[in-house]
Chains A and B, each alone.
Chain A
Amino acid sequence: MSASSLYQPLLSAIARVEEETPDTRTYFLAADGVPWRDAYRPGQFVELSVFGAGEAPFCLSQSPTRSAFIEVTVRRTGTVTNRLDTYGPGDVVGLRGPFGNWFPFERARGKDLIFVGGGIGLPPLRSLINYVLDRRADYGEVRVFYGARTPADRVYKNELAAWARSPDLSLVEAVDRAEAGWTGHVGVVTTLLKGIPVDPARTLAFTCGPPVMLSFVMAELIGLGLPPSSIVTTLERYMKCGVGKCGHCCVGHHYICVDGPVYNFDQIQRLPEAP
Chain B
Amino acid sequence: MAPMTIAKADVPAFLASLAPRYRVFAPRQVAGADVAFVDFDPSVPLAWDFVNTGVPPKSLFFPAREALFHIEGTRRPALRAPAPEPPLAIFGLRSCDATGLAFLDRFFSGRGFEDDSVIARVRASLLMTVACDVPGPDCFCVCCDGGPWLTSGFDLQFGDLGDRLLVDVGTEKGAAAAREAPMLFHHPMPEDARERERRMSKVDAQFQRRSYVAAGTKRISLGKVPQEKWEQWAEDCQCCGGCCFVCPTCSCFTASDRPAGAEAFDRERAWDACLYEGFTREASGHNPRGAKAERLKRRFFHKMSYQYVEVMGRHGCVGCGRCVAACLGGLDISSVLARIHDECQ
Contacts and interface: CB of A to CB of B under 8 A. Distances in A.
B283 A1 contact: no
A1 B76 CA distance: 27
Nearest to A13: B76
Given A77-B283, A272-B223, A245 B108 contact: yes
A11 B253 CA distance: 24
Contacts of A87: 75
A245 B115 contact: yes
Given A7-B267, A247-B253, A247-B274, A2 B298 contact: no
Interface stretch (B130-138, B197-205, B302-310): B302-310
Contact of A6 (B107, B113, B284): B113
Contact of B257 (A54, A91, A244): A54
B68 A3 contact: yes
Given A1-B124, A54-B256, A245 B113 contact: yes
A237 B288 contact: yes
Contacts of B74: 50-52
Contacts, number: 152
Q: Bin chain A's interface residue count.
A: 35 or more
Nearest to A242: B113
A144 to B, nearest CB: 25
A51 B288 contact: no
Interface stretch (A124-132, A185-193, A248-256): A248-256
A195 B83 CA distance: 64
Contacts of B263: 52
Given A55-B255, A246-B252, A7 B269 contact: yes
B121 A1 contact: yes
Contact of B281 (A49, A81, A238, A251): A238
Contacts of B111: 243-244, 255, 258
Contact of B77 (A11, A246, A252): A11
A274 interface: yes
Interface residues of B, number: 62
A68 B67 CA distance: 33
Given A1-B120, A8-B68, A248 B223 contact: no
A3 B280 contact: no
B223 A238 contact: no
Contact of A274 (B83, B256, B288): B288
B252 A247 contact: yes
A275 B286 CA distance: 12
Given A246-B253, A246-B254, A1 B272 contact: no
A37 interface: no
Contact of B265 (A1, A9, A52, A272): A52
B52 to A, nearest CB: 25
Nearest to B81: A2
14 contacts: A1-B121, A2-B85, A3-B68, A6-B116, A91-B76, A237-B282, A238-B283, A240-B255, A244-B110, A248-B252, A248-B272, A250-B298, A253-B307, A274-B288
Interface of A: 1-9, 11, 49-56, 77-79, 81, 87, 90-92, 94, 211, 236-238, 240-241, 243-248, 250-253, 255, 258, 272-275
Interface of B: 66-69, 71, 73-77, 79, 81-85, 87, 107-108, 110-118, 120-121, 124, 223, 251-257, 263, 265, 267, 269, 272, 274, 279-284, 286, 288, 294, 298, 301-302, 305, 307-308, 310-311
